[in-house]
Amino acid sequence: MWQFMLRRLSYALLAVFVISLVSFAVIQLPPGDYVTDMINRVRATGGKVDPEFEQRMREVYGFNQPMIVQYAKWLTNILTRGEFGYSFIYKRDAGEMIMERLPTTAVMVFGAVLLTWLIALPLGVMAAVYKRTVIDYSAIFIGFVGLAVPSFMLAIVVLFVVYRTFGRATIGLFSPEYVAAPWSVNRLLDLLKNMWLPALITAVTGIGALTQTMRANLLDELNKPYVNTARAKGLPEWRLLWKYPVRHALNPFVSTIGWLLPALVAGDVVISIVLNLPTAGSMLYAALLQQDQYVAAGFILLLSSLTVIGTLISDLLLALLDPRIRLS
């Protein structure tokens, strides 16, 4: 088991390294950089910029160096000093800005994962047990709606309903007294109290997909001979259901965490932009638009680490549920 865990952990670290390299390179793909954007804004207002000043600015920010050199310095500073670079737009340490938004994002994403499991697992089980009944058809309908309706469209609809019902144009994550407050136990509890609606919007797609997955897996298990044998021996239906078919059907269900967490992270980014939530998504979007590369690269690195952690968790849970995976 320990060898399996160490092997998966080494794969996860390698994946994070590759993602950080690719994301840093992709951010620099658009033509120009922050200095170019700044010079264009000055010239758009009728101002003039000395070419020597532009060259000095590139040297100050390190844009005159090759991309691989910039990446090596950035990664070295993260590993040795915990520094993610400097925000050109906000004139602040990028790491401080990221750490202000990352806890909110992490709570939102893991809250969405929890809601997805709490809703999809029992719904999929009931749909399989009560096949071809109103419960089954309702679960199928919910699954299709979750898969078909984009999360950003649902967010816009919810925002409109909240505005028409309560007269509020926004859906916040914090009460007014905690918006600018430092992190504390009370602020975290206030976040948990207010985040359920954005988390549910983020989780809708996952609920639709996992409900269908659990229903299909359990229907397949319920038709196997060992279920009929257990019934013939007089095993109570509820014990039979949860001890054998549901447990076996959980293997593919657990493996979906590997793609569920990345999907929820991506959904959180989109929904935070639509609802103007103080999570990583809105700041990442602004950093990409304004070519604030160290803020954008830091956010992408940490958000992608969350997705890698999700894959690692699914591998470990599968190993705990199925000894055959550990032995292989």
pLDDT tens digits along 32-63 = 777 877 788 777 777 777 788 778 888 877 87
Same domain, 6 and 32: yes
Q: Among residues 40, 68, 93, which one ends one of the domains?
A: 93
Answer for the pair 302, 106: CB distance below 8 angstroms, yes or no: no
Same domain, 115 and 251: yes
- Range of lowest pLDDT (80-89, 170-179, 206-215, 243-252): 170-179
111 vs 29 pLDDT, higher one: 111
Q: Which residues contact 272 (CB under 8 A, 6 or more apart)?
A: 105, 198, 278, 279, 280, 281, 282
Q: Domain limits at 75?
A: 2-93
- State the pTM of this model: 0.75
Q: What pLDDT does 166 receive?
A: 67
Same domain, 88 and 119: no
pLDDT band at 324 (very low <50, low <70, confident <90, very high): low
322 vs 10 pLDDT, higher one: 10
Q: What pLDDT does 123 receive?
A: 92
Q: What pLDDT does 323 receive?
A: 66
pLDDT of residue 326 exceeding 60: no
pLDDT band at 169 (very low <50, low <70, confident <90, very high): low
Same domain, 117 and 165: yes
pLDDT of residue 325 exceeding 70: no
Q: Give me 32's structure tokens.
A: 């120009």
Average pLDDT for 223-227: 85
Same domain, 23 and 48: yes
Q: What pLDDT does 137 receive?
A: 92
Same domain, 56 and 107: no
Within 10 A of 230 (CB to CB), how many other CB atoms are there?
18
pLDDT of residue 64 exceeding 90: no
123 vs 257 pLDDT, higher one: 123
Same domain, 291 and 194: yes
- DSSP H or E stretch at residue 225: helix 225-232
Q: What pLDDT does 134 receive?
A: 93
44 vs 14 pLDDT, higher one: 14
Same domain, 164 and 39: no
CA distances from 243 to 37, 122, 221, 239, 323 (A): 61, 15, 12, 6, 16
Same domain, 179 and 308: yes
Q: Among residues 69, 93, 117, which one ends one of the domains?
A: 93
Average pLDDT for 91-113: 83
Answer for the pair 61, 74: CB distance below 8 angstroms, yes or no: no
Average pLDDT for 162-191: 73
Average pLDDT for 80-97: 84
pLDDT of residue 114 exceeding 80: yes
Highest mean pLDDT (candidates 49-58, 100-109, 141-150, 303-312)? 141-150
pLDDT of residue 168 exceeding 70: no
CA 291 to mean position of chain CA atoms: 22
Highest mean pLDDT (candidates 124-138, 179-193, 199-213)? 124-138
Q: What's the CATH number where 118 sits?
A: 1.10.3720.10
pLDDT of residue 294 exceeding 80: yes
Same domain, 173 and 279: yes
Sign of CA dihedral 8, 10, 12, 18: negative
Same domain, 171 and 259: yes
Same domain, 80 and 20: yes
CA distance 117 to 139: 14
pLDDT of residue 86 exceeding 70: yes
Overall number of domains in the chain? 2
Q: Among residues 93, 114, 130, which one ends one of the domains?
A: 93
Give the three-state DSSP class for 86. Answer: strand
pLDDT band at 187 (very low <50, low <70, confident <90, very high): confident
The per-residue pLDDT for range 255-266, each reduced to its tens digit, is 777 677 777 777
Q: What pLDDT does 147 receive?
A: 84
